[in-house]
Amino acid sequence: MSEVRALMLGDVIGEPGLKALFAGLGELVRRLKADLVVANGENAAGGFGITEEEARKLFSLGVHVITSGNHVWEKKGATELLDSTERLLRPANYPPGAPGRGLALLEAGGADWAVLNLQGREGLYPIDCPFRTADALLEKIRDEKPGALVLVDFHAESNEEKEALGLYLDGRISALAGTHTHVQTADERLLPKGTGYLTDLGMTGPEDSVIGVKTDICLKRSLTQIPIKMETAEGPATIKGALFTIDRESGRCLKVERIRD
């Protein structure tokens, strides 16, 4: 087969998100014939951060690479976990000296893959430039794994910044999917030079919630402007993400399909 498929999943929110993956990811992968599964796990531990326990669960369920974002540092032991777990990524554009790594190179489904995790700066922290970091790491990928199919999880607040990076990398990567907002966008498309794109994958988490958080807490925060501690909502959860069908030889994305399961 000249085509391979990458399933990228939006932010996994606490226990409801993990339960949804336990119940449905295996069948979803079989139905979609996905060769690679990437999931953003920065909210897997009670809605904020990730520990070894959640990482182990995600890998056991069939996730090949766990990406993250600004909340990956929340839990005690994050430094040790990031340093010791090769396929658990933090955004690559944190300054030198930060623990962990932002790039994973692997083989799955008979293809070589490079999964790159980046974080935006608009509305978030003024870390290193994601555009220049991407340039540097694409050179590294060409040297170490020529021909690898490159996927980017861009964890960013700004839709403008996400579209800009997608177009900046168009033709140099196979797919870019945004995370962080927990709201799935409806702008899946093939960019002019062959990169698959979606502004945000959405979240894998509780439906009856405000971006995964208990509704009553979010309403109180909005009405009072008091920073009440947020708690993960309970109840049925939905898996959201996107499937990217990619030509193995050229690296061009052939099709982007939003997933809601």
- Active-site residue set: 71
State how far the Cα of 44 lies from the Cα of 47, in Å rounded to an integer. 6
Q: Which residues of 125-155 are buried (b: 16+ CB within 10 A; e: fewer)?
A: eebbebeebbeebbeebeeebeebbbbbbbb
Fill in the amino acid letter for 127: I
Residue 226 parent element (H or E): none
* Cα distance between residue 88 and residue 134, in whole Å: 18
127 and 92 Cβ atoms separated by less than 8 Å: no
- What number of residues does the chain have? 261
3-state secondary structure of 237: strand
Angle at 88 between CA 145 and CA 30, to 5 degrees: 80
Separation CA 54–CA 247 (nearest Å): 32
243 contact partners, CB below 8 Å, separation of at least 6:
5, 6, 7, 8, 32, 34, 255, 256, 257, 259
Say whether 106 sits in a helix, a strand or coil: strand
